[in-house]
Homo-oligomer: A and B are copies of this chain.
Amino acid sequence: MDSNLKISFIGSGNVATHLAKGLFDKHFSIKQICSKSLENAKTLAEEVDAEACTSLSCLEKEVDCIIIAVSDDIIESIANEIPSTNALVVHTSGTKDIELLNSFENYGIFYPLQTFSKGTSVNLNEVPLCLESNSDKNNATLEQLAKAITTSYQYINSEQRKVIHLAAVFACNFSNHMYSISKDILDNNELDFKLLEPLIQATAAKISRMNPIDAQTGPAVRKDHETIKNHLSLLEDSIDYRDIYELITKHIIQSHGKL
């Protein structure tokens, strides 16, 4: 295997930034960062010793891999504009099909299963990478990249990847929204959200040791209808929060009733 793959990135957002830096740190050669914002492209390019550009027509063909790390909704149009190339062209989306890239000879998926926010660093070493490509040779290339930055990678087909992405929406996006609601409730009563931090961390930590359905605590799983009633009356000024509380509570009671 080639020990010095040349890689270009399309995009300069959170995913591009984390992956480019991660690969650069492992001595891969980052050739170009192409982004519609020259400023963002330059910022990232400087950090990974690459060239910045703003037009897909300027992409150099002589790279081994082009990583498209942009919003899901523009992957297709970007793929259509990339000049003909033999490079392995991959995208990093959890939801988009691999076939979006089948106009290329070599194509695949390099999907990091993680939530990247600006200003928070992520230890890539623990990030599962979901890989898929159209040939064994391309799998080998993806594996070489993945191995360099994480201990956890798997071959996942596009249908499976979409299911994982959906599950991640529940586990990550929706959980985070529960944190937002709890902070809002505390803020409205001049109480400090910091109080809940140990509880939130402990709840998340538990899943590495036990099945979440067995870890369920609280009034719903205890069928403690008096507390549920009191909570709903505390929420009488927020129809939205009441609706969410009622629906999730009902579903916890139902799903534990089946056990």
| Chain B residues with CB under 8 A of A186 | 163-164, 167
Interface size on A, residues (CB 8 A): 90
A103 adjacent to chain B (CB < 8 Å): no
Q: How far is the CA of A60 from the CA of B51 in the complex (A)?
A: 79
Copies, count: 2
Q: Contacts A164-B195, A169-B231, A217-B115 given: A200-B175 contact, CB under 8 Å? A: yes
A95 adjacent to chain B (CB < 8 Å): yes
B-contacting 9-mer, from A25-33, A42-50, A121-129, A131-139: A121-129
Whether the pair B117, A172 counts as a contact (CB closer than 8 A) is no
A81-135 with Cβ < 8 A to chain B: 95, 113-117, 119-120, 122, 126-128
| Chain B residues with CB under 8 A of A119 | 210
Convert A180-192 into 0s and 1s, putting 1 for each residue whose CB lies closer than 8 angstroms to a CB of B: 1111011001010
A204 adjacent to chain B (CB < 8 Å): yes
Q: A164-B196, A167-B196, A177-B248 are in contact. List 10 more A-B contacts (CB 8 A).
A: A73-B226, A120-B215, A164-B195, A170-B185, A171-B203, A173-B218, A173-B219, A179-B207, A180-B255, A183-B211
Can you pick out 19 interface pairs between chain A and chain B where the beta carbons lie within 8 Å of each other?
Answer: A113-B195, A120-B206, A120-B215, A128-B198, A162-B230, A164-B186, A165-B231, A167-B183, A170-B185, A170-B245, A173-B219, A173-B220, A176-B215, A177-B252, A179-B207, A200-B207, A201-B208, A243-B247, A244-B247
